[in-house]
Amino acid sequence: MVYTVAVVAKRAGKAPNTIRTWTAEFAGFLSAGAQPTGGERLYNEDDLSVLLTVAGMRAERKTFGAISAGLADGERVQLEEEPDSPPNATESPGSALVTLETVIRLTATVAAAEATENELRDQRDQLQSRLDSQSEQLLEATSLAAAATAALDELRRQSRPFWRRWFSRDD
Note whether residue 90 is domain-resident. no
Q: For residue 54, what pLDDT is reported?
A: 94
- pTM higher than the cut 0.75: no
Number of structural domains found in the chain: 2
Q: How far apart are CA 12 and CA 53, in angstroms?
A: 9
Let me know whether 44 and 6 are in one domain. yes
Per-residue pLDDT, averaged over 112-134, amounts to 90
Is residue 158 pLDDT above 90, yes or no?
no
* Closest listed residue to residue 118, CA positions, set 56, 62, 61, 53: 61
- Which of 85 and 114 is assigned the larger pLDDT? 114
Per-residue pLDDT, averaged over 14-23, amounts to 93
Final residue before a domain boundary, out of 79, 107, 124: 79
Q: For residue 36, what pLDDT is reported?
A: 80
Is residue 14 pLDDT above 80, yes or no?
yes
Domain housing 47: 1-79
Contacts of residues 109-118 at CB distance under 8 Å and 24 or more positions apart, as own/partner, are 111/59, 111/60, 111/61
Let me know whether 75 and 134 are in one domain. no
Final residue before a domain boundary, out of 51, 79, 107: 79
Q: What are phi and psi of 88, to 5 degrees?
A: -65, 165
